[in-house]
Amino acid sequence: MAKVNVGFIGLGLMGQGMATNIVRKGWPLAVMAHRNRAPVEALLAKGAMEVKTPREMAERCDIIVLCVTGSPEVLSVVEGADGIAAAGKPLTIIDCSTSDPSVTLKLAEDLAEKGTTLLDAPLSRTPADAAAGTLDVMIGGADDDVRRVWPVLECFAGRIVHTGPTGTGHTMKLLNNFLAMGYAALYSEALMLGRKAGLTPEVFDSVIRGGRMDCPFYQTFFRWVLERDPNAHKFAIRNAFKDMSYLAAFANASGAANPIGAAVRNSFAQAVGAGRGEDYVPMLSDFIAKANGIK
């Protein structure tokens, strides 16, 4: 496709790397500052242009990528007083946030009446993958709409899966994060129980690593446990709690019993309630240990 004007809102841990890859690969890019100007300045130096509001971005762009925290933030930048929808211009929004699928579906319906297409395209992997352009993307939307934005996604994705109609991307993302955060809660509890029995994290790792229960998520988690690398997995406990709360809402709306999901959510809820929400997910292991009298 011709390189149309692209906007990007949400230059956080993931967004900065994604936006950098978009501009590096030749797409005209508009960006907007939030709390931290450093990512904006870095992108301006690479050829991006700055806008002041989502509305101004919509007036200038044909595609806007969102990489914000969740549904409330998406609604704010889209439907706010100076939001994307206020431009009154048909365009395509690619929502890479981890959002509530029910909110996504309602917003997509509302925007469609105004000629704007909303696609949900949440992400998997880490900020390092965002910088390398090797993220996993799961995208929901109509075939033609997905095909149209595919070249933009390819700027920052190593793997793209079309999950089905709008809303299925965000649903799949919640299931993906359920597995990941479930592992985090399991690792944390298993490590604590091992310590109770005198088994060190090093012994635990020597049994698991290279075996059937090993996986890339385990390896990044244990870079914190064994090496105390704070950058091993830069995903905040508060965001894990938010995602598991979205999953709980989805299960409730579906009339489904999800006792394991509730247990995983509560592991993160306890950490957030204890003031550990800004810690990264592997640090849940420290919280679970301390809660059980172990350093």
The CA distance from 214 to 230, in Å, is: 21
Pick from 86, 30, 80: nearest CA to 60: 30
Which one is catalytic: 46, 52, 106, 173?
A: 173
Place of tokens 């810690």: 279
The CA distance from 174 to 182, in Å, is: 12
* Tokens, residue 214: 């090993």
25 is catalytic: no
* Burial of 2 from C-beta contacts in 10 A (0-12 / 13-18 / 19+): exposed
Q: Which residues, in sequence order, are CB contacts of 9 under 8 Å at separation 6+? A: 31, 32, 54, 57, 64, 65, 66, 67, 68, 77
User: Which residues are part of the catalytic machinery?
Assistant: 173
